[in-house]
């Protein structure tokens, strides 16, 4: 927790402006799309389980649904292949190749299909000798693999870090970044550099943000509330290090959205969506769009939450207070607004009331704020001096506040008033 949020934000802005970001014109806002790993993992049994195995038909089905059921209109762009798409060996020319039985038309044809739907295709590879599932890695083949992906018209590369000496991780990720840039094709670069570097030392986030468009910091997400909460706890514990690196062109990636699967209650799904929006995280769903329930679909397509995630100011939020088993997370937004997420960390009992005076950022409301409640249900509350909200166990209330001055006029812009220097 930061005892002086205003001072902290000055430090964040200063460090962020110094760090810069990968200059490939991509990821100006956090990436949105669908990724297969958490839900479908490395299921290669297309004979016994044809509907759920890693195959071209799975990604084509998801592309169809992304187009037909409002996902593309909500902002989700990418269909991302993960591990286990490859043949066990490279071809005679040393190039990666798709498994011929599960991807008979090849990746380039799959990219054409995805592009025909107005979407983009992501693919997976590894910086080391092998992928996490044991398929060929890119070590020693960075240039040829980058060129292969470019020739296949791939739009995103998720570059994992298994089977790689930790001392070589940094150079491996830098080498692939350079190789991708040399292809001349804009390919969004998703790294796991800091995840693997944390094993031995604090990663160099300035270098990471100048190399990658997004980067994983912590362990893989599982379909459980304990997993989601562990990611939030890690992020809060390290926010003084990771938050300054994020901004247009490069984002901290807390891993996939597991909303619509089996492990989270409705309130916990709302908590993940709200906190991922506050953290300016990539919104990469891993679920089955063929069978997702209506409540989960409505949450994932919630335009107000997505607008927070995609806010043009491009600043990552962070935890500002812990009080009475509540966590307060705040994110500065464009036009002098502030997004506030209040997480009830208790997993017992009934809903509990939370008062706005416990929110550090509420001091902006001098004397008033215009309040919009996004979760647990949408409500245009209006102009208030304070607010009380009811939050279910492991649920989250999500608000947007807009300061209003003593003459009843909204402030527009971050530095027009001393009241807004916190932003």
Active site residues: 160, 220
Q: Are 154 and 122 in contact (CB under 8 A)?
A: yes
The rounded distance, in Å, linking the Cα atoms of 387 and 400 is 12
- Cis preceding-peptide flag for 312 (omega within 30 of 0): no
Residues 6+ apart with CB under 8 A from 77: 31, 32, 33, 119, 120
- Rg (C-alpha) for the chain, rounded Å, is 22
The rounded distance, in Å, linking the Cα atoms of 381 and 372 is 5
Place of tokens 């959205």: 257
Residues 6+ apart with CB under 8 A from 131: 83, 84, 86, 124, 125, 137, 160, 162, 163
DSSP for residue 36: S
Q: Mapping DSSP to helix (H, G, I), strand (E, B) and coil, where does residue 268 land?
A: helix
Measured CA to CA in angstroms, residue 400 lies from 42, 94, 230, 263, 375 at distances of: 40, 53, 25, 28, 10
Residues 6+ apart with CB under 8 A from 277: 283, 305, 306, 308, 309, 331, 339, 341, 398
Residues 6+ apart with CB under 8 A from 26: 186, 187, 188, 189, 213, 249
The rounded distance, in Å, linking the Cα atoms of 147 and 128 is 18
Q: Are 133 and 170 in contact (CB under 8 A)?
A: no
DSSP for residue 257: B
The rounded distance, in Å, linking the Cα atoms of 100 and 94 is 16
Tokens of 123: 């693919």
Q: What are phi and psi of 368, to 5 degrees?
A: -135, 160
The rounded distance, in Å, linking the Cα atoms of 207 and 157 is 18
The rounded distance, in Å, linking the Cα atoms of 373 and 362 is 14
């Amino acid at each position: 927790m930061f005892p002086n949020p205003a001072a902290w934000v000055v430090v964040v802005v200063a460090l962020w402006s110094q760090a810069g970001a990968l200059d490939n014109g991509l990821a100006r806002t956090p990436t949105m799309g669908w990724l297969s790993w958490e839900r479908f993992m490395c299921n290669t049994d297309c004979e016994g389980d044809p509907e759920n195995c890693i195959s071209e038909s799975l990604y084509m089905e998801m592309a169809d649904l992304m187009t037909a059921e409002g996902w593309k209109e909500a902002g989700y762009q990418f269909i991302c292949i993960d591990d286990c798409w490859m043949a066990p060996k490279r071809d005679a020319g040393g190039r990666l190749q798709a498994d011929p039985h599960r991807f008979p038309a090849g990746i380039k044809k799959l990219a054409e299909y995805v592009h025909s739907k107005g979407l983009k295709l992501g693919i997976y590879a590894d910086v080391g000798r092998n992928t996490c599932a044991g398929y060929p890695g890119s070590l020693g083949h960075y240039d040829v693999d980058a060129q292969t992906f470019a020739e296949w018209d791939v739009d995103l590369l998720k570059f994992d870090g298994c089977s790689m000496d930790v001392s070589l991780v940094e150079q491996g990720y830098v080498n692939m970044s350079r190789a991708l840039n040399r292809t001349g094709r804009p390919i969004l670069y998703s790294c796991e550099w800091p995840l693997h570097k944390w094993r031995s030392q604090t990663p160099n986030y300035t270098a990471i943000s100048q190399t990658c468009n997004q980067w994983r910091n912590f362990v893989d997400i599982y379909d459980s509330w304990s997993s989601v909460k562990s990611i939030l706890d890690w992020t809060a514990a390290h926010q003084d290090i990771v938050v300054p690196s994020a901004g247009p062109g490069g984002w901290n990636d807390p891993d996939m959205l597991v909303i619509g699967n089996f492990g989270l209650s409705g309130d916990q799904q709302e908590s993940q969506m709200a906190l991922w929006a506050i953290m300016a995280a990539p919104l990469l769903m891993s679920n089955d769009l063929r069978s997702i329930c209506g409540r989960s679909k409505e949450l994932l397509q919630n335009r107000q939450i997505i607008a927070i995630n995609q806010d043009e100011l491009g600043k990552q939020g962070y935890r500002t207070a812990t009080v009475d088993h509540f966590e307060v997370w705040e994110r500065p937004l464009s036009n002098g607004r502030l997004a506030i997420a209040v997480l009830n960390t208790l997993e017992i009992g009934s809903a509990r009331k939370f008062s706005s005076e416990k929110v550090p950022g509420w001091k902006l409301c001098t004397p008033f704020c215009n309040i919009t409640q996004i979760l647990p249900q949408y409500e245009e509350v209006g102009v208030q001096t304070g607010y009380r909200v009811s939050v279910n166990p492991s649920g989250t209330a999500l608000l947007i506040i807009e300061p209003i001055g003593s003459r009843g006029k909204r402030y527009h812009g971050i530095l027009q008033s001393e009241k807004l220097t916190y932003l």
